[in-house]
Structure 1
């Protein structure tokens, strides 16, 4: 079976030598606009089969719309900031912590990050272009450009002016390895084994009377300031030996069997409401000094919503500094918000002998503190789903740290309203996005890192007043580079004559990419270009962008313009192995696009990847690839036959035979179907229809029917009709194939026409 690589290399050289993509752009310039926005991949490494599928999908539709005469905006983009880049550079330089980065120097570190990102931009450009993707590779938009950063500041200030920006000490997920907050849309999950314990809290002023609670996070017990009960539920005082335990009646039998206590009897019943305000003693007061200083703490509070009778004891350990539900209930009940941890996950200096210990590693020691006091009822290990950092896979800790937030909850209804104006392919993807939007919380927008868009907030060291900057023109000096550390050197004089210094955080990297629909156009500086294109006509990305790019785009767009940034979205799945498993090095099932190209050629890969519904997961199978290669070989042989035997191009349409009329009618019908399918983003139907036409109508039927009519020694009157028909269907077929198999289409079009 022939490999098409030599043919494809020749066409690739032809396109490059003759600057064909640019000539096509110029031909359509000034015609009806088609604004395609490329979702920016992280510039962190070589492309894989999933990113290849993504760009091939995009390229097929961009080629189609160009052929329809549209002036297509096809600028590629790259995400060049954030932990994806920082982590790669840390690995390269052998840096293990933020302290290592500080010692290496922020300027040196960020220069290495920029160097790393720009290096892979060139590599990825070349890889995508090698697959036949026609985009404006010489002029990609980069989130590290100063103009792009100013676009981010512009949106940030609008959010501030609309009253959506606020600062709060609020529990957020923190990666203790990266030492920064992690937003809700950045969280991934792993199966983790943790302690599961039942412990007793002594009721204040009562001898041998205890509240029984259950937790899987012993490291948060020092931060306990309350215990929740369900006001409508029944609670019982249970006599066990010389002790009295308080437990929800609905959980009594389960708990007693679990902890191995028998011979108990109920001596009192009370509604949860009746327990409100009951005080208890914190068992670890003599171990963690900060506990002694807490006021208005260690009492029972009520929560109908957050107390379950399906697990635990019906009494919920409440640490408002380490969970959003706990925080909400704590705020409502004026409980202290305690989070005695540093960003690296260690207990701070207010924690006695636990100071400096990594909190999650201290679980066993804290359990033992309860045990030696006779307050541990039961312990075991459980495996459960646990959040991890999306970049370094470190298990996350919930802790309260000062962060800047966008009040997304205030615009949530508008987000849903604007999403309903978007045409999603398929419809259910839009519904999935709506479900995500309905559950959005506020967005922690600040990150305690280095390589990113600097947070444009300056705070006064004297009066504490803050100022938000929306452009470079608002700064007293204009640095050539808006990144750290140069931007950190700029001070602004406050009205009180104090010095305003920049808050040393950077923005969430998802904020960067979320601005692409306008920052890539250099808005607000270039308002005319923006007005001529906005909003996007098409975006094509995978399922992870429901909570990622589309989420941040819609939020930032509604903040900036009070409307959606895109009109049409094509949602595509993941590429998996033949058995539906995720590809990974450990499983040894990774397929690299260059391996497929080396064996079968670029157009075989393209035809194969475009042959299934974009929104389904794609199960890559080498035997299916082989079958596609056979189809393209049949196509090749068909065109070789036509080139060999069609020796004349008729000047006019001759009288056609019935088989000629039939095949022309068939391809006209196929063209109508093709347009309908491409315009409804069902390219797989176009591919399947063309494959059926090539294998059956053209190769197995029509070619066999006219073989004798095109023979060199044949001189019948219907020979010219066969020539005419073969050329006509070749012209139409090659044009339909051009978005799908552009190399073969270009080659045989040049050969025949």
Structure 2
């Protein structure tokens, strides 16, 4: 009987590596960040790609605001950009990435005011600007450290672009000069979005829509005797003296003091309805709903049950016939003109829209069309002026209740209800905004065909996801005149002048360019270059003889508006790409889906206006990070996960893998349970790399077996590797990260874990040296490919694993980022078919219940045409099935291949654990013949030489 106690472990080649099983990512990752920085890994590879003639790939960075710590949405954004840069860097492209920061504007100013406990109304502008600069630089450094910590370090982080840099501010002003010179930039009175809390105009991109409860009122606009007669005539009615009014509906009672008109639909039918002792005009389509709200109507319904009518239709007329008639304002001594407007809808309300050009965008347009006065009885802080009569001094939202009660007391109120609807809010202070007519600087979207040209440029761009093209087109088509002026301190000034003689405001391109040149002459260390507009006399920048273009006056004063930060970030294509001599248009812009109406659009409009081309060739948009139930993340809801806390707990690589595992073009769910699942996937991939490293231990460069000389199973594995690498490379180049993640996991599980790794263990641990070298050589190729394919996602882990490979096997690739992304290889169809068949047969063996795989022998029944393929595999067929022995190849009647598992013959070899005949070597009776020969050879090699 064999000696079961004899220990042959010394003769085995078990995996050996110091690559740790426990990742301890939070502990190890920071050192890797420092290593990349010290070695200049990114710049070294970038320079190499440039020397090798690599085509440029420019991902232009959309600037985050330097006003707070990274959240998980920022992590998502920065990871995607980092992965895209690394993919193209590994693909040999000159992937020059310049990160940037938006450091002006309300986000930074508000954070600074909060930090310093200041009120912007009383703060000294120059001191506030100095403080804002300090805070912005503080947050830039903090955010940059957080980005580097998460592994998003491949870029020019030592030389980022900053909107507060003198040359950047100069570019902003130069672009304003170009737009003014080309007649795109103008100053005009319009009703624009206004935040009464921050006291500044806002652009559409600075608006968030949230649910809001407004006071909904139905109000009578009464007709005087003369007005009544004129109105009734259009309905074919005579005046019997019954009071007549037009019923309007509004959810902003505070705007009634600014009312000058009532808008009707030109095509809708309107009726005169008698209810009790009054007549009222409403749209016929809405009459039933409106009349039900009249108190008198309710009394009649109770007294006269249906079918007795409670309201009588006296006559009808089309809205167009009432054009330019009039009614009286419900509580002020003036008329309200009846006007026509296509925007009047018949879904809600009365079909008659209260119109105040001072407080509505479409109202303002109607006012221009009809020559209506623009009444704006509200100051910048949201308080009524004397023009509002009895409400002067009241805060507009507080005045709603008082106005409703006054309407009730006067008899003008028909009904008062609460109304839930989506309402615009300020993106920073989160409070409701209003429309307010003020003089602002605008870019005219409909001047010189700018809108049409921008829409045409959209059609030259590739969008990912594809529906982004439609979204972008809609954003351009519906883009209102772009209000680019703001009434705050922290920003780049609009170098415009106002004439003291005629009040004309104008921007001289020559003055603006001289101001820009003065800013360029300042160094960054000298502070805010644009402070010059506040501290210097405008004549220091003015060309000789500058005068008002309207009246020729020279009594000119500087305006104190700053430019919209969306305009600032909207000229990054010029301030970064053009100024730095980079590829323009950029290959790609990548931001969240909200940037279709923000940064994507602002860059498009300014680029088309100045250069008549889109600034990008491709636009990539991602979704939002939500909790694991699909709800928005908020600290108050208890479902918020801070980026630094998540990195400290899970490590950056697990979070990077989480993003890659999701379809980033939609909302991405995040929660502890989801991260635990991703952590399991990460551990599997890490352990696979660890096993590879342990298995190639001892392999030397001169012992690497060429593919053509490898064992058949190893050659098949490398054919599968080629197909896998080609697939992942295609996904990466198309930036389908989720598809790449799925392919990587599938290859790891289906091809490696469930098949090839098991199949190799016998040969690796106990096989003859020459057969083991073949397996090691194949594993080295797989390890190398896996490392480079994992590097864009699991950057820390791929680099750590690569550093644990024997330097002799690493060659010139000191870093994993010195490797090259595998290039596409034509698939070996026959080899892949054989590989797939072997996996299927192996699965049949593994499905055999109750017997350990390596204790089996097997017989394979195959179709006749497969005999030659299997014969060519030799012992690789047995090895692939992970059985002790293979009996013979039979023939399958149904034309398929199947495995018949049989009881193992022989006894358990004490070295390799296969069941085979033992005792061929008397000195090693407990080993089968092959193991005995290997042990003898090892013993001979270890024996001391004869004297």
For the criterion TM > 0.5, the same-fold answer is: yes
Within 2, Cα distance between the matches of 1:144 and 1:265? Answer: 68
Within 2, Cα distance between the matches of 1:151 and 1:44? Answer: 23
How do 1:698-717 residues align onto structure 2 when only pairs under 5 Å count?
698-711=752-765, 714-717=767-770
- The structural deviation recorded for 1:600 is 2.9
Corresponding position of 2:705: 653
**Alignment partner of 2:731 out of 663, 677, 697:** 677
- The structural deviation recorded for 1:444 is 0.8
- The structural deviation recorded for 1:121 is 0.5
- The structural deviation recorded for 1:484 is 4.2
- The structural deviation recorded for 1:382 is 1.6
* Structure 2: unaligned runs, 5 residues or longer: 1-21, 229-240, 301-309, 523-527, 811-947
* Structure 1: unaligned runs, 5 residues or longer: 292-296
Within 2, Cα distance between the matches of 1:404 and 1:372? Answer: 42
- The structural deviation recorded for 1:520 is 2.0
**Alignment partner of 1:426 out of 457, 465, 485:** 465
Corresponding position of 2:789: 736
Corresponding position of 1:121: 140
How do 1:22-101 residues align onto structure 2 when only pairs under 5 Å count?
22-30=43-51, 31=53, 32-95=55-118, 100-101=119-120
| Higher mean C-alpha displacement, 177-186 vs 471-480 | 471-480
Within 1, Cα distance between the matches of 2:505 and 2:115? Answer: 40
Within 1, Cα distance between the matches of 2:517 and 2:770? Answer: 83
TM-score of the superposed pair, with normalisation by structure 2: 0.74
Corresponding position of 1:502: 558
- The structural deviation recorded for 1:716 is 4.2
Corresponding position of 2:569: 513
Within 1, Cα distance between the matches of 2:483 and 2:172? Answer: 16
CA deviation map 1:302-356 (0-9, x unaligned): 23x1222332222221112211222222222222221111111111133333221
Corresponding position of 1:623: 673
Residue 478 of structure 1: SS of its match in structure 2? helix
- The structural deviation recorded for 1:499 is 4.3
Corresponding position of 2:285: 250
Corresponding position of 2:926: none
**Alignment partner of 1:307 out of 335, 344, 348:** 344
CA deviation map 1:405-451 (0-9, x unaligned): 11113411111111111111111122221122221111111111110
Residue 374 of structure 2: SS of its match in structure 1? coil
Distance change in 2, residues 1:352/1:255 (3 Å):
closer
Corresponding position of 2:401: 364
Distance change in 2, residues 1:266/1:586 (3 Å):
same
**2:639 is aligned with 1:589:** yes
Within 1, Cα distance between the matches of 2:412 and 2:31? Answer: 78
CA-atom RMSD in angstroms:
2.2
Residue 607 of structure 1: SS of its match in structure 2? helix
| Higher mean C-alpha displacement, 641-650 vs 338-347 | 641-650
Within 1, Cα distance between the matches of 2:690 and 2:247? Answer: 82
**2:327 is aligned with 1:277:** no
Residue 520 of structure 1: SS of its match in structure 2? helix
Kept in 2, the 8 Å contact 1:196–1:381? The answer is yes
Corresponding position of 1:747: 800
Residue 608 of structure 1: SS of its match in structure 2? helix
Corresponding position of 2:775: 722
Within 1, Cα distance between the matches of 2:658 and 2:270? Answer: 63
Within 2, Cα distance between the matches of 1:251 and 1:489? Answer: 61
**2:528 is aligned with 1:457:** no
Corresponding position of 1:231: 266
- The structural deviation recorded for 1:242 is 3.3
Within 2, Cα distance between the matches of 1:239 and 1:631? Answer: 74
Corresponding position of 1:559: 609
CA deviation map 1:130-150 (0-9, x unaligned): 111122111110011111111
Within 2, Cα distance between the matches of 1:124 and 1:363? Answer: 43
Corresponding position of 2:619: 569
Distance change in 2, residues 1:330/1:476 (3 Å):
closer
Within 1, Cα distance between the matches of 2:143 and 2:349? Answer: 51
Which has the larger Rg? 2
CA deviation map 1:500-526 (0-9, x unaligned): 3322101111011111122124x5xx4
- The structural deviation recorded for 1:486 is 4.3
Residue 518 of structure 2: SS of its match in structure 1? coil
| Higher mean C-alpha displacement, 412-421 vs 349-358 | 349-358
Kept in 1, the 8 Å contact 2:187–2:506? The answer is no
Corresponding position of 2:866: none
TM-score of the superposed pair, with normalisation by structure 1: 0.93
Kept in 2, the 8 Å contact 1:278–1:299? The answer is yes
- The structural deviation recorded for 1:271 is 3.1
Within 2, Cα distance between the matches of 1:476 and 1:606? Answer: 42
Within 2, Cα distance between the matches of 1:364 and 1:635? Answer: 64
| Higher mean C-alpha displacement, 633-642 vs 179-188 | 633-642
**2:649 is aligned with 1:599:** yes
CA deviation map 1:543-601 (0-9, x unaligned): 11111110101011111111000011221111111111111101111122333333332
Within 2, Cα distance between the matches of 1:661 and 1:216? Answer: 74
**2:373 is aligned with 1:336:** yes
Residue 300 of structure 1: SS of its match in structure 2? strand
Corresponding position of 2:863: none
**2:533 is aligned with 1:483:** no
Within 1, Cα distance between the matches of 2:663 and 2:568? Answer: 30
Within 2, Cα distance between the matches of 1:228 and 1:612? Answer: 49
Q: How many residues align?
A: 732
Residue 71 of structure 1: SS of its match in structure 2? coil
Within 2, Cα distance between the matches of 1:22 and 1:317? Answer: 62
- The structural deviation recorded for 1:615 is 0.7
Kept in 1, the 8 Å contact 2:99–2:157? The answer is yes
